[in-house]
Structure 1
Amino acid sequence: MTETNSDVPGLLASLRAARVVPVVRTRNSAHAATAVQWLREAGLTVFEITMTIPDAPALIRELAAEPGVLVGAGTVPDARTAELCLAAGARFIVAPWVDPALAAPCRAARAALLLGAVTPTEVRAALAAGADAVKIFPAASAGGPGHLKALVSVFPHVTFCPTGGVDSGNVAAYIAAGAAFVGMGGNLVDEARIAAGDKATIQAAARAILP
């Protein structure tokens, strides 16, 4: 879906530079806001706010207003939700499945679209549906870096983002296998630690994955 004068190449370059995209998925918006605050203090500037968080578009709007922050929406279920998130300031839309309906709102907003896949057939379907990058999910249970390396051998020009089971110990292996960047969820945004106020552990995990 990338087209002339699009912002997508620059957005993908920013995601590559970040190397790790925190996937913020918590049961309530207060924990999500706390996680983002702590991660920002640790030096992270890119965030995927999932739609499983109550009032997620409101948090996206707050983050999008902050200088130097790149925010996207994750687990986006339909085009209407994508439109709400894009209007709030999301610059990339992520779904862990293939949904062609998400392409049009992303194109209109000059935003990047990441669609999910595991198999070569699904990767082709994601690209045909308008994906600018393909999210390999769940990455760890599908075979980890070895599975990604096999996909890259068939799709050498595809921008891949493995997510699911990524942690500080395997980020380098995923990048070496051909990932452009990775998504990291519970191994970074640990809600139990957030609820307990364990800021030090969360920030140590963040600093461990900084480029």
Structure 2
Amino acid sequence: MKINKGRTDPAVSPVIGVLLMLVVTIIVAAVVSGFAGGLAGDAKAAPSVSMDVKIDTSASNGMGGTTSQMTFEMLSGDPIPTKDLEIITYFTNSTGHIYKTSHSATSEKFDLYGYGTSYTRLPYLNDISKVGYAGNNDKADFGNYTISTGDILSAGSTRQVAEFLGLDWTAGTDPDPDTIDDADFKPGATVQVNILHTPSQKTIYSKEVVVK
């Protein structure tokens, strides 16, 4: 019997090719699956939260008069470090002009009373028992505290609300109060408020808030 050396059965080559392709496919699938799993593992979960946001143009100023006030009350949910939050607001007046603001842990502080002596990053934590008074008190500044159920964040005066929403305002001379210049900002107007959880890049609050 004559043996042909150095030759391969023609039927074997296609089989080997198919097996190699199958192995490569399995390896690629495993790499892709591992990469996707890693991404999923690295993703941050957005906290669960219920929030009530109010804008009131006739809130009591504690001295027998009224002022504007904007509050964020946490009704329920997971405690959230405010350094992980960004508050974005939009107000559109009757001419179509859009006032947009963004507030985070890196935003500039605001001169609360106009004397150049008391600054805070809005909205401050309105809880004296937890952090003390806002104004030259880092603990009360947005971005430095953790908000939990029952906490209220505030922009507690007309000038603070105007600053927070990006509106122009005019300082009053006692006993006249400060005023917001845009006449369209009044009861019945709406402000779009979005709260973004920055680690997850998920919006945890989004609502058109009606001004009262």
TM-score normalised over the length of structure 1: 0.25
Q: Say which one has the larger Rg.
A: 2
| TM-score when normalising by structure 2 | 0.25
